[in-house]
Structure 1
């Protein structure tokens, strides 16, 4: 009841677009985990992690906004397909 999803208003293209938002978020989660695993922390671990999180979150938001803009929220099918391919490749690369 609280979901934004309404089957009568959505189609497979819209759902694919939203799935890619999830996949993009996963890319940035991987990026953050990598940074954290390679980082040597000072005495203020909480502050350091907060700073990294804020930076990653800003980058994520900018990337998600660009995705929506370039795909016109899934209405530009050609751009959507290009993004699908691009993100799938990035997920595969970052999984190594």
Structure 2
């Protein structure tokens, strides 16, 4: 998360003075890619593989697999004259040691279902980015960003649940195909 006290290493007592000097706010984005230990960051060039699913299947679950995905951000502030540049790094991630698949369930079809969960998480991050670009900022920019993040997290949970409900966790193939087409369309918007 972004903290106001992270203003270029400026002491907390100077933050109020800096905020008074700032007249304009600008947001810049970067996205984390690649892998870092047990975490895989989203890339359309690196789809999920069954070997990414490291956890033991949950004995109490009736599902054949589970992909643990999420998103977050971190950032810092750069000052350029009277403009505060809010530099955010967005992260869409898949946590390998929390994701699992049952033996015998490692089909291409099931992997495509789990991949779409990851794609949906990435879609929500892209929507968050659009929201943040359209937002007007002031000295309370940190709270504004956190609010949008929380709203996006709620949106992600609703959309993931809708996806699983409508496809019955991938069982209804026609619904699975419809969702695949719809997510591709949304990502292209």
> Is the TM-score greater than 0.5?
yes
Corresponding residue for residue 36 of structure 2: none
CA distance in 1 between counterparts of 2:103 and 2:125 reads 29
By percentage of residues, which structure has more helix? 1
Provide TM-score, normalisation by structure 2.
Answer: 0.46
Corresponding residue for residue 33 of structure 1: 129
By percentage of residues, which structure has more strand? 2
Unaligned ranges ≥5, structure 2: 1-53, 55-96
CA distance in 2 between counterparts of 1:39 and 1:8 reads 47
Provide the aligned length of Structure 1 versus Structure 2.
Answer: 93
CA radius of gyration, larger in: 2
Corresponding residue for residue 177 of structure 2: 81
Cα-Cα RMSD: 1.4
Unaligned ranges ≥5, structure 1: none
Are positions 1:54 and 2:150 aligned together? Answer: yes
Are positions 1:70 and 2:166 aligned together? Answer: yes
Aligned-pair distance for 1:13?
1.3
The higher-RCO structure (CA 8 Å, 6+ apart) is 1
Among candidates 10, 18, 31, match of residue 106 of structure 2: 10
